[in-house]
Amino acid sequence: MKIRQLSVFLENRPGHLSHVCRVLAEAGINIVTMTLADTREFGILRLIIREWQRAKEVLETAGFAVNLTDVMAIEVADEPGGLEKILKVAEDGGLSIEYMYAFACKPTKNALIVIRFDDLDHASAVLAAAGIGIVSAAEFYTDISGDNDDPQQMD
């Protein structure tokens, strides 16, 4: 149930974020979701892109340092306490969350969050045992676009 995520390292200077977006746009690559974390000197742009292999190649050719990581998309009840339930299961299962961010598209009545756990296989087992909806890459992209013709995104 892993989804590929690109992490792009950027200097914290004007124009660097737009440069990444321009390189991807010129290659005809769409960003599905992203988050940006920064310090005074640099930032880490995390991107989920359907064509992640091609995006990685295009960005590296443009001179960007790109790292590939696996994340998980999880359905969360869109109600008070929905996220707390997920976090409690993670805590009880001994899971460590490195970071997380919300996903803006809501194909169901539930919200979606993207989480990077320290051990995705263990996290998958713990969450599944608790009945928490883990979204596969195929479901993730089908929900977004209504199709799923890209084999590189399959689990």
Give the tens place of pLDDT for each residue, 55-101.
999 999 999 999 999 999 898 888 899 899 999 999 999 999 999 98
Range of the domain at 57: 3-69
Mean pLDDT for all residues in the chain: 84
Which of 94, 95, 90 shows the shortest CA–CA distance to 76? 90
For residues 11 and 61, state if they share a domain: yes
* Shared-domain flag, residues 10 and 41: yes
For residue 56, give both structure tokens.
């990685």
For residue range 89-127, list pLDDT tens digits in order.
999 999 999 999 876 555 567 677 788 888 888 988 898
What predicted TM-score, i.e. pTM, was given to this entire model?
0.77
Whether 138 shows a pLDDT value over 60: the answer reads: yes
The strand pairing partners of 112, in sequence order, are: 75, 103
- The pLDDT > 70 percentage for the chain reads 85
The domain boundary residue, chosen from 53, 69, 85? 69
CATH of the domain at 58: 3.30.2130.10
Q: Is the pLDDT of residue 154 over 50?
A: no
The one-letter amino acid code at 125 reads A
54 and 104 assigned to the same domain: no
* b/e burial code for range 63-96 (CB count within 10 A of at least 16 → b): ebebeeeebbbbbbeeeeeebeebeebbeeeebe
In the chain, the number of structural domains is: 2
34 and 95 belong to one structural domain? no
Question: 52 vs 11, 27, 83, 98, 131, CA distance in Å?
Answer: 22, 12, 28, 21, 29
Q: What is the mean pLDDT of residues 126-152?
A: 70
Shared-domain flag, residues 95 and 140? yes
Task: Count other Cβ atoms within 10 Å, centred on residue 120.
Answer: 18
